[in-house]
Structure 1
């Protein structure tokens, strides 16, 4: 079933998305492989840019920073390992992408591990995208937000839309 779904996605990867957003050809949309940590925290999502955002990032030679923070609600033992928000920090992952649409893979390789024993239930992730500030001291884009249980993020395809700040498009939150 998963193979069929990804085959269909691959077959339609060159189609332009509707609604004024640009898309790119995706050579592989296979699931991200599991890593050698206690839980598979890896996932992927599609990144789309509005036409204005794509043009601005291209002309400014600007990149996009992806910042993923894994966290969880503490167990009794985990309460002594919480951050300022009262959550257990399971690790972070950050990297730069070209300022263009594509498929983003979060590996989760720096998250989880032994800290998972301090978390009740499922670990969660918060993903933010913003410009890397190579051309301007200010962030130029606003993007949909991913914030929720990793298993829910892994369960369905997510498309994160980004647009220029001030374009007056409404952002969404996933899952």
Structure 2
């Protein structure tokens, strides 16, 4: 290859790199955060009603959150990967659980939020196996006025809580 051809090729390559570097601006990447949670719900309504005695739930874990914003910095979409562990307890007995999956939230112009949840919520009952409380995919709308959630497409569940109640019974 001649020196002239080598220089020309090098200049063209440099020009292409420069054109690529000055092209249209890319959208800002999402903001990434981690939200940890650790809470106890004494006499959890779902379990306590199903079992007929007070059942407490301790939950801990985290959300890995990515939030996309518009040009004014308002959130428009959020992707949340979650993983939580739990202990469901009554009468000196405890059942462990795991909740995990992703959810996507879209913040609507009317102030409501549409949430698509995919994942599983379960408890492992000694001698009875896994009791699933929710699974699959579901879509819920959280109204802007704070009213009741609107379930557009429910997730599966819950299965019978009887194995859980039988194990935790006095």
Give yes or no for TM over 0.5: no
Structure of higher RCO (CA pairs closer than 8 Å, 6+ residues apart) = 1
Q: TM-score, normalised by structure 1?
A: 0.28
Q: Which has the larger radius of gyration?
A: 2
Q: TM-score, normalised by structure 2?
A: 0.29
